[in-house]
Structure formats: C-alpha cells, structure tokens
Amino acid sequence: MKIIPESISDLPQHTYVEGTDYRQAPGIYLQGKMPIAINLRHQQLLDFPDWLCHLPTLRFLDISGNQLKQFPEEIGQLSQLQELLADENLLQELPSSIGTLSSLKVLSLDNNELKSLPEELGQLALKKLYIHHNQLNRFPNSLWQLRNLRVLSVGSNPTGNIGEEINQLQQLEELYLHDMMATRLPDSLGQLHRLHTLDIAHNQLHSLPESLGLLSNLRHFLYISNNKLSELPNSMRQLTQLQYLNLTDNQFSVLPDWLGDLSSLQELRLYNNQLRALPDSIGQLHELKELYLQNNSLEALPASMENLKQLQILELRRNKLQTWPNAFFGMSSLRSLDLRANRLSHIPKEWMALSQWEKLDLRWNRIDSVPVQWRDSSQRNRRLYI
C-alpha cells in the first residue's frame, strides 16, 4: 500500500543503526526516538510534506520517484541533512535556501526538469552531485567552488562545452560529461589528477586534448563512444592503468601503434567504426579479457593476437574475414567467439580439439559443410551456431 503520510506518525518505523540502508524500504528510521532517515521513494507525492522541514535530527532523505515540482524554502532548516535524493521528480528550480544545508554531502537530482541552479549551491560542502538528465543550458559560476566534490554527474543536459574552470575541482574522482552536445573539451581537464572514471560519450567531439594523457590515475573507465573521432592524442599512451576503454560508434579507420602500451586494459570496445586493420601491438594487451570489434571492415587479424592468453570474449560479427585467423589457436582462455556475417567458407577441424570454448557463432557465413566432430558439440556443453 502506498504511503502518503499526513504526518510523521503515519510512517512505518524502522530502527536505524550505522550502516543501515534506508533506501531499501519506505518509512522512518529512528535512533531511539530521533528520526535519522526517511524514505518516501515512489509514493505518488505531489507536494513536499511540510513536516519534513521540522526534523532537526534528519540526516538522510530519499524522496525520489514522485511528482514534486519544487522544494519549500524551509528545507534550509534541515541543518543535519547529509544526503538528499530527489531523482525522477518534476523539479524546475531549487530554492536559494538549499545553500544553508551546511552538512549536505550528497545531492542527487537526476531526471528532473531543472532549467537553472542557484548560485547558493556553491556554499555547500558537497562530495557528490548528480544532476544528470535535466534541462540545464548553463551552470552557475559557483559550481566550480565545490572544491570537495569527488563525483560530478552533469550529463544529458544541453549545456554544450565545459569551461576551463573545471580544473578548480581538484578532488574529482568521477566525472560524467556525456550527451551534452559538446564539441570540445577544456585543456584543463588534464589537471584533474585524481580522476579514475571519465565519461565523455555521446557528444560531438572531433578531437581530444593532449592533456588527457596527464590523467595518470584514470583506471576504471574511459567512455568516448558516440562521437566523431578518427584519431586519438598520442598522450593517451600514458594511460597505463586504464582497465576499460570504450571507443565505439566513432569514425576510426586505423588505431595508433601505441595501443599496446595500455597494458592494464581488460575490456576494449571498438565496434561500429570503420576499422580495416588492427595494429600488431594489440597483442601486447596481455590482461585483455573482452574485445568487441563487430561492425567494422576487418579482413584479417594480426598474428600477434595469439598472445592474448587472457581473452575470454571476442566479438567479430559483421566484418570481412575470409579465412580462419591462426591467432585463435593461441587464445587459450577464449570461451565465446562470435563470427556471424563474415565471409568464412572453411573452419579448421583442429578448432574442435580445443577444450576451452563454450560458444561459437558462425551464422551468415559461406560455410558449405561441417566437420563430423562438430555434430556432437552439444554433448560437451557447447553452443555451436551455423
């Protein structure tokens, strides 16, 4: 049954101890008799309950998934509030009093209708700010005063290019700038030395700044998909800690020879480009576990790929391979191989003798006959599609 409380007494009560995840169930979480957290997520609320503003001990509030159009000015009275989650509402603006929430560390306003942010936002001591998917066409200058920010998510707003001022956010570890209609990135981006995750996908970038290679701690994710890139800055060869790189849906026809310098890569996504060949250095990616190359124009693979001993998933559908690459025989960990819609006419019988593979998809090729050994592949817990 939906909870639409008229007063605090209408809420289900839970006991709060340190570490309690108050987002799991609706209600009020009490420490003794003091309300510490309140979850009103997905409760069909049209207005912000007035009584919420009179809970001086409240530290956590989740009011996401409702139909709120505004916060009252009185929200600034919640001096102990540390987390405010209000995603998926209809908010169009924030009151200036939000700047008085001196204890606030996490503010999440994803998927609203915000057209502007108050300058008072810069008075906060935020560590995480999420304002993804709103209608912001500019950011207040005070945004760059949030010097304690660790996570900034501003993607899916029509703001265009980010200014050089972003270098003031020296504590940033995660930065999400996707789907902003950006045509360039600031050179100062390379000064954010703590970044381990960067998302600049779904923009209109034709080039990347050389300063990108200065992000020496970039190790978790680098998303550059869905842009208009045909080359990468040479400085990126310095990103030797990077584990995940996504370059899909761009305009690459060749990749740099230094690709193999990215020695920590575990997953590399290159599909939906115009690649005609791969550099020999790709065989130096000894930690690589997943490689996605579908929808390119590859006619062959470099022999060096036999050195990809950790590779488990290889996607090659919709390329132009005519002969079975010998490199496959060296991939001793390969479990899933997708070769759909190539130009293969022959598969070596030796491939069946390899014990590690679990899935092989050869549909939409030019294969006339199947070796007799392949007919009992299902008995070996393998999936073969021809």
| Residues in the chain with pLDDT values less than 50 | 1-4, 379
Residue 136 lies in a domain: yes
Q: What's the pLDDT score for residue 329?
A: 94
Which residue type, as a one-letter code, is found at position 283? Answer: G
Q: What's the pLDDT score for residue 354?
A: 79
Residue 63 lies in a domain: yes
Which of residues 124, 142, 159 is at a domain's end? Answer: 159
Question: Are 266 and 147 part of one and the same domain?
Answer: no
For residue 342, give its domain range: 252-386
Residue 210 near residue 231 (C-beta atoms within 8 A): no
* Among candidate residues 247, 151, 261, 144, the one with its CA nearest the CA of residue 195: 151
How far is it, in rounded angstroms, from Cα 204 to Cα 161? 10
Residue 208 lies in a domain: no
Residue with tokens 């488990």: 312
Residue 244 lies in a domain: no
Which of residues 140, 159, 178 is at a domain's end? Answer: 159
CATH number of 377's domain: 3.80.10.10
Which residue type, as a one-letter code, is found at position 365? Answer: N
Strands 34-39 and 267-269: unpaired
Instruction: Quote the distance between the C-alpha of residue 227 and its chain's center.
Output: 15
φ and ψ at residue 312, rounded to 5 degrees: -110, -30
Strands 336-338 and 313-315: parallel
How far is it, in rounded angstroms, from Cα 139 to Cα 145? 12
Count of C-beta atoms within a 10 Å radius of residue 301? 22
**Overall domain count for the chain:** 2
Q: pTM for the whole thing? A: 0.95
φ and ψ at residue 153, rounded to 5 degrees: -120, 105
φ and ψ at residue 326, rounded to 5 degrees: -65, -25
Residue 276 lies in a domain: yes
> Any residues with CB less than 8 A from the CB of 131 and at least 6 apart, and which?
109, 110, 114, 117, 153, 154, 157
Which of residues 159, 187, 208 is at a domain's end? Answer: 159
Tokens in use for 268? 């590399």
Question: Are 152 and 3 part of one and the same domain?
Answer: yes
- Maximal C-alpha separation, the chain: 77
